[in-house]
Amino acid sequence: MKNTLDGIEEILLMGPGPSCIHDSVYEALSLKILGHMDSYFIKIMDDVKELLQTVMKTQNNMTIPISGTGSSGMETCFVNLIERGDPVLILINGVFGKRMQDVASRLGADVDVLEFEWGTPVVPEKVREQLSAKDYKIIALVHAETSTGVRNPAQEIGELLKGTDSLFLLDTVTSLGGMKVATDDWGVDALYSGTQKCLSCPPGLAPVSFSENALEVILNRKTKVPNWYLDVSMLTKYWEGQSRVYHHTAPINMIYGLYQALYLIVEEGLESVFERHYRYHKLLVEGLEELGIKMLVDPEYRLPMLNSIHIPDGANDGEVRGKLRSDHKIEIGAGLGPLAGKIWRIGLMGHTAREENVHRFLEALKAVLER
């Protein structure tokens, strides 16, 4: 029987995630499996927690990877913090802010939204006005809006909330490991991410972190967390303490992979990793501009790891992406929602953010567009 897996080719992943994976992470994924209660595996879990704390810049004890993709991190943050009728403010300027609105609404929260034009950032002044009109239990923001390539002002929103009772919930699925995320300094109470973007691991885990304030809210809920699998108070008993209590069977080899991916980042040094992302983002933008291609987002608000470009006049969206994939073995991302058919999204995430990848992509794009 023919094995379908034999047809897998090596593709340069330059879309919105997943990103390319370092060989040592592939090797870690294929190490011998241990039991999920094995003492050596528990040591690896403890080290993963510590590495996550370093990359997230937090002292939060409740810092763990949730079993599931980035969206499970989003669900974990909302489902643990929200009780029916809780006032929640969601700041929206793209697909993932919209997804937060959906998740919070399904939990019966009293959801207000402030919407900003896609491709532009959330404006702190508008948030300040809204906060002076109403008290919220949670203010939620997407740090790096992957659907548009916009960097939102997470630090500024955190400043607005300092000294209030509101909890700050931040999506760092695309930003973590590629640009500064200062969980404690910015006053973030609930943070989630995903493994397949700048952490350069396959999709499958969602690192989360909760502040002491957030944990106090969770431990003093009037009602049970309406989701057994994501209940942080139960997960804590598996991830913390001298004697661990089984909750669900951890995805053991994924946790090896995450360990190795975080190890690589910490070994390279956070600042060097961020600088590498920024350097090759600049190189990419220069090359694109030489080809006459325009960026969607103003320079000040551009993400280094996700570059949105206007599809040049006369180019066919699907055909160009198809040719890049078939002839050059390069994947880039299409536009989403109102930007579908209007933009391409070029990722320089984690291990993908390398000089040779920028040159290879620019040459390939030029060749495809010329044809």
> Footprint of ligand PLP on this chain (CB under 6 A)?
16-17, 69-71, 74, 96, 142, 146, 171, 173-174, 194, 203
Q: Which residue is nearest to ligand PLP (CB)?
A: 70
- What proportions of the chain, in percent to the nearest 5, are helix, strand and coil? 45, 15, 40
Kindly state the smallest distance separating residue 349's Cβ from ligand PLP, in Å: 10
* C-beta closer to ligand PLP: residue 347 or 362: 347
> d(Cα 75, Cα 27) in Å, to the nearest integer?
30
Kindly state the smallest distance separating residue 71's Cβ from ligand PLP, in Å: 3
Kindly state the smallest distance separating residue 188's Cβ from ligand PLP, in Å: 15
* C-beta closer to ligand PLP: residue 251 or 287: 251
> d(Cα 104, Cα 82) in Å, to the nearest integer?
8
* C-beta closer to ligand PLP: residue 102 or 286: 102
Kindly state the smallest distance separating residue 26's Cβ from ligand PLP, in Å: 19
Kindly state the smallest distance separating residue 95's Cβ from ligand PLP, in Å: 8
* C-beta closer to ligand PLP: residue 150 or 218: 150
Quickly count helices (H) and strands (E) in the chain: 12, 14
> d(Cα 282, Cα 252) in Å, to the nearest integer?
38
* C-beta closer to ligand PLP: residue 68 or 158: 68
Q: Any bridge partners for residue 171, and if so which?
A: 142, 192
Kindly state the smallest distance separating residue 356's Cβ from ligand PLP, in Å: 25
* C-beta closer to ligand PLP: residue 34 or 262: 262
> d(Cα 179, Cα 271) in Å, to the nearest integer?
8
Task: Give yes or no for a contact between 364 and 286, defined as CB atoms under 8 angstroms apart.
Answer: no
Nearest 5°: CA angle at 106, between 115 and 221? Answer: 105
